[in-house]
Structure 1
């Protein structure tokens, strides 16, 4: 099965580390990153989709971060 995650966070080094950790764990970038201004916090927010091929079938209780 192909698993999909959308990583999100503030535009800072913590977000970059989140994406880097996913890549180190075998996830692959999927599409371009997205950026948006969060008027509530006054900060930029980022999103990056990642995918990973894993064994087994999809189930709604899969913890994607553990794959």
Structure 2
């Protein structure tokens, strides 16, 4: 349901797809919730390649004109 209380229809496979993606890439999924009234946050965490981390950011180290 949305904040306005409207029912949202769906196929119900969203979380299953997210779990499949996470598992396929060595990631994790979990749910965080403080109270039932506050709702829930669904988290998807994926690892970052070491090769990606060694690459300088765009423009980093480039000479300034």
**What TM-score results when the alignment is normalised by the length of structure 2?**
0.34
Bigger radius of gyration: 2
**What TM-score results when the alignment is normalised by the length of structure 1?**
0.34
Give the structure with the higher percent helix. Answer: 2
